[in-house]
Amino acid sequence: MGYTVFMNRSGMRSQKRKELVEAVVLGNEPVALVARNFKVSLRTAFDWLSRYRQGGWPALNEVARSGRPRKIGGDDMTWLYAAITMQSPLNYEIPFSLWSLNSIRTLLHKERGVLLSKSSLCRLMSHLGLTPQRHLYLSYKQAPDKIRTFLDETYPAVVSLAKKQRACFYFLEEAPLGSDVHQGTTGGKCGETPSVYDGCGCFGYTLISGVSVRGDMHFEVIEACMNAEVLIEFLKKLYHDAGHPVFLIADKARYCQRVKIQEFLETQLGKIMMVFLPANFPEPNQQ
C-alpha cells in the first residue's frame, strides 16, 4: 500500500511539473502568473523549466535522471529574469541601454559564468516569457491634474455643448511627410539585397486631417509649412464639406495658439468650435 501511495504522489508531482511547463512553453503564459496559479515559488518554476530545456518532457518525471549536466539552473534563471525585468544594462556596466541577445549573453557569462549560444538563449528567453518588444515613449512633462480635469470636466461639457449645437466631433491632426523615409520589404535571394534607384532628392509635404468619431476623414496635403492661415483655410473647407457645425479637438501646436486663430473662431461661433488638449496628451504616437 505504501509503495502505491508513493507512486501516485510521484505521478501527481510529475504531472504538475508538465502542466506548469506546458502552460509557459506552449500556452505562452507569464511565468510569474503560472507559478502563482500552481502555488509554487518562482524559483521552483524556473527549475522545472530548466529541467525541460535540458531533457524534454521525460526530465520532468519523478525518476532518477542522468545525462549531460544542465548549463543553467533554476537559480540562474531566476536571477536572469529579475535582471532583465527590473534592471537596465547600464546597471551592469554594459554600454547599451536596451536588452539585446548579445548584451544578455554577455551578462549571463559575466555574472553567472554561463555561456550559451544565441539559439539556446532564444529558447531560454521564450521559456522565461520574455520577448523582444518595442518600448513605449512616455512624456514626463505631462500634468496629471490637468489631464484628469479635461477627462472628467472639460470633455463631458464639450460633448454636451456639441449635442446642443448638433455638431460633429473631429480630431485635428497634422503630420509631416518626407521623401527620405524608406519603408517596406521585398522578396529576394538570401545574401543578395535588391537595389532601388531614385534621385535621392529631399522634399516634404504636410498632411492635415480631421477624423470624426465615426471614422469619416477629411484631409489635405500641402506643400507649405503649417501656419495659422493654412489651418483657417482647412477649417473652412472642413465645415463646407461636413455640411453641419463641427467641433474640433486639437493639440496645443504653436499655430493653433495664434491670435488669428482665436479671432477666426470668435467669428465662427455655432459653426466651427475648437477645444485644446492638455500639453503632451495623449502619449506620443507609437510608430
Rounded Cα distance between 172 and 222, Å, is: 15
Least confident of 5-9, 97-101, 189-193, 258-262: 5-9
Q: What is the pLDDT of residue 234?
A: 92
**In this structure, are 40 and 75 located in the same domain?**
yes
Average pLDDT, the chain: 83
Q: Do residues 215 and 135 lie in contact, with contact meaning Cβ atoms separated by under 8 Å?
A: no
Q: How many domains does the chain have?
A: 2
Domain membership flag for residue 151: yes
**In this structure, are 149 and 60 located in the same domain?**
no
- State which residues form the domain around 43: 2-127
CB half-sphere exposure, 108, CA atoms < 13 A: 27
Domain membership flag for residue 92: yes
Provide the residue count of the chain.
Answer: 287
CB half-sphere exposure, 65, CA atoms < 13 A: 15
**In this structure, are 259 and 151 located in the same domain?**
yes
Condensed to tens digits (0 to 9), the pLDDT of residues 108-155 reads 999 988 888 888 888 888 888 888 877 777 777 888 898 899 889 998
Domain membership flag for residue 16: yes
Say whether the peptide bond before residue 132 is cis (omega within 30 degrees of 0): no
Domain membership flag for residue 30: yes
Residue 4 pLDDT level (bands cut at 50, 70, 90):
very low
**Overall average pLDDT of the 269-286 stretch:** 79
**In this structure, are 272 and 166 located in the same domain?**
yes
CATH (domain of 252): 3.30.420.10
Cell numbers that stand for 117 in this block = 549560444
With a cut of 60, say whether residue 67 has pLDDT above it: no
Percent of the chain with pLDDT over 90: 13
